[in-house]
A = this chain, B = another copy of it.
Amino acid sequence: MPNGLDEQSMEETGGDHREISVAEFFEKNKHLLGFENAQKSIITVVKEAVDNSLDACEEDEILPEIQVLIDEYDDKKCRVEIRDNAIGLDRETIPKVFGKLLYGSKFHKLQQSRGQQGIGISASAMYAQLTTGEPVTVYSKQEGEPCHKFVVRIDTEKNEPEIIEDEVIDSDSDEFPGDQDYYFDHGTTIEMQIEAKYTKGHHSIRNYLKHTAIMNPYARVVLREPDGNKIEYPRVSKELPEKPKEIKPHLHGVELGVVLRMVDNSDARTVSSFLQNEFTRVGRTSAENICEEAEIDEGRRPNTLSKDEVEQLLKAAENVKLQSPPTDCLSPIGEDLVLKGLKKELNPEFSTAITRKPTVYKGNPFQVEVGIAYGGDIEDEGSYEELRYANKVPLLYKKSACVTTKAIEEVSWNRYNVSQTGNRPQGPVYILVHIASVWVPFTSEGKEAIANYDPIRKEMKLALQEAGRKLGRYIGRKERKEIQEKKKRKLTSYAKEMAPAIAELAEEGDVDDLENRIQKMVEADYNPEQL
């Protein structure tokens, strides 16, 4: 032992220090990922799988077909099967995607997607293993290729997959699970057994899928509940949203430590080309201006830059005007699809949608969409209902901690003919708020609420006010119309009593006076006795 440390003091001082695998960490902290209890956990598992399926379909521009099949067995256990028609996963990737936490294709990209962490689906598999001891089974088929079946466990202490089965099966045969109705020529099917409680209330798979259907009206989703009941969320649009593009980071939102790493890893020959190649919106002139402002020779090799020089470059960049990052990395669904989604699932008498222009927060582009649905089949249950989305994924929990709720509560709904209790709008109204971003600042790994950042809340408020004004005009017109209708109805109902009186007056030939009298009668709420 160096420095005279003996076994004894090793033991006392640092001998029990150990590495903690990220799988062990999240197994013990599973509540951070949405696995607090049996009721919530099954929603989390379905959500992670469906989110991945939708991402995969959109990535390959396939109209999504998703089946969610739930069976109960034993006491408090469910078998969950989720099947999609995406192009399937390649053989090499499958074990790690399902058997290793922090593994994925989305984390390192600046591009809008539902998943962003590489945790969700492998954590679901870990939860299955933890609660029922059962590994995850994955079937994945690419078009014209054989179907691969994998059975995978997670070695929690190492955070590495353990392959239990790896075989090619005939997807036309009985080996392929579930109803043949659900057969697709390409796609992925996942089977997990988990401790679960299947419920039908506000926090339920039904509600999660209903919310998903509203925001993804180009998807067809079928749910088979444990009692065999099938619910279809139909496709109402064959139009996929524009596929988002990957972008590079923007100099105005990047941290020094990250740039230092980029400098180390760069194979650019000059500082100028480093700036142009690694960042968005830096052209030759901007690069030159930054170097000049920083007093650094633009022709130097990036890896000769000291820390202080890199810091100078970043400071200089703050003083050089750069265009905002491009926003084709975003994929909002647009006002038309928001309206279609609201109409098909809620059947309201009035609906409106606003898609704001993209804007930027700390170098990250984001975009807000808002929809309001009012009346019709929507029942008045006192408080409004909220539909919260981040990158098209519904958020069902932690409403009061979410920036969407704070934005809604900042709007003066009274002005828009909507009554309020405290800050909350009341009545038969659904308010939808969607943020599309390359990086949504969730308040936890469970992705349940969005942090209350000023620029995001402000955008949401502006969108809500715009939509609110439209709702206000509609309710105003409706209320005026209702008053007129009421008048008409009353007039009609008094017709019988009024008829003789009017006839009498008419006989007297006092027609001018008659008109006046009828007007008075109408103003006096049609009390014929006042005639």
Q: Residues of A at under 8 Å CB distance from B?
A: 2-5, 9-10, 12-22, 24-25, 27-29, 31-32, 36, 60, 87-93, 96-97, 100, 102-105, 107-109, 117-118, 129-134, 142, 145-146, 148, 156-157, 168, 255-258, 260-261, 307, 310-311, 401, 439, 441, 443-445, 451
Query: Can you list 25 A-B contacts (CB < 8 A)?
Result: A5-B142, A10-B92, A13-B93, A14-B89, A14-B90, A14-B97, A14-B105, A15-B90, A16-B105, A16-B109, A17-B103, A18-B103, A18-B104, A20-B102, A20-B107, A21-B102, A25-B107, A29-B117, A131-B257, A133-B257, A133-B307, A133-B310, A133-B311, A134-B307, A156-B257
* CB atoms of B117 and A25 under 8 A apart: yes
Residues of B close to A17: CB separation below 8 A: 93, 96-97, 103-105
Residues of B close to A21: CB separation below 8 A: 102
Residues of B close to A93: CB separation below 8 A: 13-14, 17
* Distance in Å: Cβ of A151 to nearest Cβ of chain B: 13
Q: A91-B3, A107-B25 are in contact. Are A130 and B257 (CB under 8 A)?
A: yes
Q: Measured between alpha carbons, how far is A2 from B90 in the docked complex, in Å?
A: 10
* CB atoms of A92 and B256 under 8 A apart: no
* Residue of chain B at shortest CB distance from A86: B13
* CB atoms of B20 and A104 under 8 A apart: yes
Residues of B close to A105: CB separation below 8 A: 14, 16-18
Q: A17-B103, A25-B102, A260-B133 are in contact. Are A91 and B9 (CB under 8 A)?
A: no
Q: Measured between alpha carbons, how far is A260 from B157 in the docked complex, in Å?
A: 13
Q: Measured between alpha carbons, how far is A260 from B156 in the docked complex, in Å?
A: 11
List the 6 closest pairs (A to B, CB-CB), nearest first. A14-B93, A130-B257, A20-B102, A14-B90, A133-B307, A13-B90
* Distance in Å: Cβ of A92 to nearest Cβ of chain B: 6
* Distance in Å: Cβ of A344 to nearest Cβ of chain B: 32
Residues of B close to A90: CB separation below 8 A: 5, 9-10, 13-15
Q: A5-B90, A13-B89 are in contact. Are A24 and B133 (CB under 8 A)?
A: no
Q: Measured between alpha carbons, how far is A10 from B401 in the docked complex, in Å?
A: 41
* Distance in Å: Cβ of A484 to nearest Cβ of chain B: 43
* CB atoms of A256 and B20 under 8 A apart: no
* CB atoms of A130 and B2 under 8 A apart: no
A102 contact from B14, B19, B145, Cβ within 8 A: B19
Residues of B close to A5: CB separation below 8 A: 90-91, 142, 145
